[in-house]
Amino acid sequence: MELASDPGLDARFAESAHQILADLVRRGAALGWVEPPARRDVAELLGTVVSAVQAGDGSLRAAYVDRRLVGLGYWLRYARPTHRPHADLEKVAVDAAVHGRGVGRALTAALIADARRAGIEVLTLDARGDNSNALHLYRSLGFTEYGRLPDFVAVGERRYDKVFYMLDFRRQG
């Protein structure tokens, strides 16, 4: 597996990222979408992320196996002026075909290292309460829970907890 820190935003990258994200959402993944995102939505999102990376306000990591995109993740610095020292890990997504092979762990660890290097003070994330694989992964990399909104995430008639995690670099050695 290779990890790229700035894959750029060529059309092929956006297309592959869209395939991974839309397929995961189709399978019920908790990525913030109820319906699979449109190609244009993913391209727009990636455009926003790449602009933030270029401005020093984010990090985007992509994982490749045999030159095929198999996963991506990113964090963005908070826009709110009083939250500027901090960033939010917004999406980590791995192609279902390679789940359980360490890609998600490698991506998340690389994003954490980027945040530390960028001088981020607190890296936050939120996840759906039933996403136990993801929550286990984040805890194993040092994140701790700091809050929970019960039955907040709405998927049709179903409701799930929204769980908030943080990694405070100021409290680490």
Ligand X SMILES: CC(C)(COP(=O)(O)OP(=O)(O)OC[C@H]1O[C@@H](n2cnc3c(N)ncnc32)[C@H](O)[C@@H]1OP(=O)(O)O)[C@@H](O)C(=O)NCCC(=O)NCCS
Binding interface with ligand X (CB under 6 A): 24, 29-31, 92-94, 99-105, 127, 131, 133-134, 136-137, 140
Q: Which is nearer to ligand X, 84 or 142 (CB)?
A: 142
Tell me the closest approach of the beta carbon of residue 19 to ligand X, in angstroms: 13
Tell me the closest approach of the beta carbon of residue 81 to ligand X, in angstroms: 26
**Pair 130, 160: CB distance under 8 Å:** yes
Q: Which is nearer to ligand X, 50 or 95 (CB)?
A: 95
Q: How far is CA 15 from the centre of its chain?
A: 18
Tell me the closest approach of the beta carbon of residue 165 to ligand X, in angstroms: 9
Torsion of CA 64, 103, 18, 45, to 10 degrees: -100
Q: Which is nearer to ligand X, 84 or 148 (CB)?
A: 148
Question: Tokens at residue 144, please?
Answer: 């701790």
Q: How far is CA 173 from the centre of its chain?
A: 24
Report H helices in the chain.
Answer: 11-26, 39-54, 103-117, 132-140
Q: Which is nearer to ligand X, 93 or 153 (CB)?
A: 93
Tell me the closest approach of the beta carbon of residue 148 to ligand X, in angstroms: 14
